[in-house]
Amino acid sequence: MTKRAQFDNVSLSFETPKGRLNVVEDVSYDINDGDFIAVIGPSGCGKTTMMSMLAGFQKPTTGNVLFDGRPVAGPGPERGVIFQEYGVFPWLTVKQNIAFGLTLSANRVAAGERDAICDHYLGLMGLSDFASSYPKHLSGGMRQRLAIARAYAVKPQFLLMDEPFGALDAQTRSNMQNLLLKVLETEGKTVMLITHSVEEAIYLASRIVVVTARPARIREIIDVPFAYPRDESIQERPEFGELRSYIRQLVMDEYRAQQAQMRPASFSE
Amino acid sequence: MDGAGVRRFGLGSIPWIGAILLWYAVRWSGFVNLSLIPAPHQVAAKFFELLTKEGLLIDIFASTRRVFFGVALGILVAVPVGFLLGWYRPARTFADPMINFFRALPPIALIPLVIVYFGVDEVAKLVILVYASFFSGVIVMYEGVSQITPLYIRVAQTLGANQAEIFRKVIIPLTVPHILTALRVALGVAWATLVASELIAAQRGLGAMIQNASTYFLLDVIYVGIICIGLIALIMDMILRKITARLLVWQDRAIA
Ligand SMILES: Nc1ncnc2c1ncn2[C@@H]1O[C@H](COP(=O)(O)OP(=O)(O)OP(=O)(O)O)[C@@H](O)[C@H]1O
Ligand SMILES: [Mg+2]
């Protein structure tokens, strides 16, 4: 198996007015080609920061983040990112948002094909009726689906997804999860997904990285014992339930640690 | 005009009618010397007299043209400068104090110097207006540009955009609203500066007309001049607002 991404003793701290804030501490793990990594941990612990080093927006303070064997130098279209804040372009219509990546020289396609791809994702994401609306008319969940469609449209081999389904209702969420599984099956992508949902992590991922309260360290890396292709029936399996309670316990511990840390000033000088 | 249009028009004209009534009321109240406040109908009569006999249109045209070119040139420079200042923090730290220094200078105070360096013809007036437009526009531009969130640029980068594409497809659309605001602010400031700029030996122009009238104490002419300036500024602003609404349909505004 080839390694696509490597975190190699990675630490990151921010200089803030109140002092140094350690956000990621001594994290090491590999993401192999075809892996589906889910990262789970308490809010504010440093998950987004960890991902943004691989996306190329942040440099580790110490250690190395490698992609395809080379230190990440910046963002690139082979690493598609779905941002926690969506970042749909308000000045473009829904369809123009999806088409955006396809109009760039890095992945330009002919106008006809572009149209077909846009229509395809508009349909998949249930946004066809809003193709020519501006994002200001969309609900939060629709914006999130638009951000997903826009990232899928350029077909990146590696997907970095930061709580991509967080704003969706349970039904839409499970549709989106199944859609993602189907996309992976046909296009063979590698995924790093940040989530707060233990069920989502187990249902989708091949490996789950549980991170600690801030600064984010690796609490445990758990292999998920279900083969792909998966469908919802695995959620009824006893192993699913066992794994779920095990991970929930870990996450709960870290959540409490984070809460305890929030009360006193958590800055070290 | 549809029902809503009629209502909006009605609503918009109430304050004007109120102002005119107040104007008459002040005269009738007896507290002021009537010769110091010409009545609205006298001002209106003067307006038509100036229009038909004295070539008021020439004055309007002269002033409007000055304001137009003053703002156009000022903003043409303010947009790139404001953009650079907003975009590159070091540039801002470097130039900010100086910009605020010059911005604080009232254009009137510069008139003697402008006369010395640029003489008394059209160029001098334009310099004053360009100066006023530039400094009001540049502030709006750099405040606006410095508030552009990096998120959209990051999104574009992850989709594969290169520097030129980011500029063309992300930064320009995000800058357009600030350019339009800068234009509107500069237009307001330029009209306000017009009278000052026409202090410099202007023969024609609304400001010149007001200046000349004040020497001969022609209050009705002064009123006509002031009202004309206000109206033309209002019309220009309305046009600009229409253009803004067209260009920025995508914006999420608190008020429609
Ligand atoms: N640029 C920055 N400068 C200073 N501090 C930062 C910066 N970015 C993030 N932080 C801090 O780092 C910590 C971790 O932030 P991060 O966004 O990675 O958390 P997260 O795990 O993604 O949380 P959530 O689940 O709520 O999204 C937070 O305390 C945040 O305040
Ligand atoms: Mg986050």
* Backbone conformation region of residue A28, classed left if phi is above 0, alpha if psi is from -120 to 50, else beta: beta
Q: Are A140 and A119 spatial neighbours (Cβ–Cβ below 8 Å)?
A: no
Q: What is the mean pLDDT of chain A?
A: 92
Q: Count the helix, strand and coil residues of chain B and give each as a percent rounded to the nearest 5.
A: 85, 0, 15
Share of chain A above pLDDT 90, in %: 81
C-beta of residue B130 within 8 angstroms of C-beta of residue B73: yes
Phi then psi dihedrals of residue A64, to 5 deg: -130, 140
Does the beta-carbon distance from A89 to B170 stay under 8 Å?
Answer: yes
Q: Does B152 touch chain A (CB under 8 A)?
A: yes
Q: Look at residues B243, B140, B233 and name the one whose alpha carbon lies nearest to residue B187.
A: B233
Asked whether the beta carbons of residue A154 and residue B173 sit closer than 8 angstroms, the reply is no
Strand ranges for chain B from DSSP E: none
C-alpha A210/C-alpha A38 separation (Å) is 8
The pLDDT score that the predictor gives to residue B111 is 84
Q: Over range A65-69, report the average pLDDT.
A: 94
Other Cβ atoms closer than 10 A to A69: 10
d(CA B65, CA B71): 10
B113 alpha-carbon distance from chain centroid: 23
Q: Do A92 and B250 touch (CB under 8 A)?
A: yes
CB A28 within 8 A of CB A2: no
Does the reported pTM lie above 0.95? no
Rounded distance, CA A83 to CA B163, Å? 20
Show the CA angle centred on residue A26, arms to residues A200 and A258, nearest 5°. 55
**CA distances from residue A138 to A83, A145, A232 in whole angstroms, order as listed:** 17, 10, 29
Question: Is B152 a residue whose pLDDT tops 90?
Answer: yes
Q: Whose CA is closest to atom 1 on ligand 1?
A: A14
Nearest ligand to the CA atom of A214: 1
A89 to B155: CB separation less than 8 angstroms, yes or no: yes
* CA A84 – CA B249 distance, rounded (Å): 26
Contacts of A65 (CB under 8 A, 6+ apart): A5, A6, A7, A8, A10, A53, A54, A71, A72
Instruction: Extract the tokens encoding A73.
Output: 């130098």
The DSSP code for A216 is: B
Q: What is the DSSP letter of B38?
A: -
Closest CA to A36 of A257, A245, A226: A226
Domain ranges of chain A: 3-262
Q: What residues contact residue A53 under an 8 Å CB cut-off, 6+ apart?
A: A7, A10, A12, A24, A59, A60, A65, A72
> Look-up: residue for tokens 């420079």?
B77
This model of the complex carries an ipTM of 0.91
Is B36's pLDDT higher than 90?
Answer: no
As given in the structure block, the two tokens for residue B43 are 């001002």
Our mutation pick for probing the ligand 1 site, out of A27, A47, A192, A195, counting the most ligand atoms within 8 A of Cβ, is A47
Residue A141 zone, left/alpha/beta (φ > 0; ψ -120 to 50; rest)? alpha
Report which of B80, B89, B186, B82 is spatially closest to residue B130, judged by C-alpha positions. Answer: B186
On chain A, the residues whose CB falls within 8 A of the CB of B159 are 77, 80, 100-101, 104, 106-107, 150-151, 154
- 8 Å CB contact between A254 and A42: yes
Cα of A258 vs centre of ligand 1, distance in Å, is 13
Q: What is the pLDDT of residues B92-139, one digit of tens each?
A: 888 888 888 888 888 878 888 888 898 888 888 899 999 999 999 999
* Amino acid found at B119: G
Residues touching ligand 1 (Cβ under 6 Å) are A 14, 16, 21, 23, 43-49, 84, 214
Q: Chain A within 8 Å of B154 (Cβ-Cβ)?
A: yes
Fold classification of A3-262 is Rossmann fold (3.40.50)
Answer yes or no: do A136 and B252 touch at CB < 8 A. yes
CA B164–ligand 2 middle distance (angstroms): 29
So what's the pLDDT on residue B49? 92
Residues of chain B with Cβ-Cβ distance to A75 below 8 Å are 154, 157-158
Kindly report, residue by residue over B171-230, the tens digit of the pLDDT: 999 999 999 999 999 999 999 888 888 877 767 889 889 988 988 988 999 999 999 999
Closest residue on chain B to A99 (Cα): B159
Looking at A71-139, list the stretches that DSSP marks H as alpha helix, in order from N- to C-terminal side.
94-99, 111-124
- Contacts with B165 from chain A: Cβ below 8 Å: 104-105
Task: For B168, name the nearest residue in chain A, comparing CA atoms only.
Answer: A104
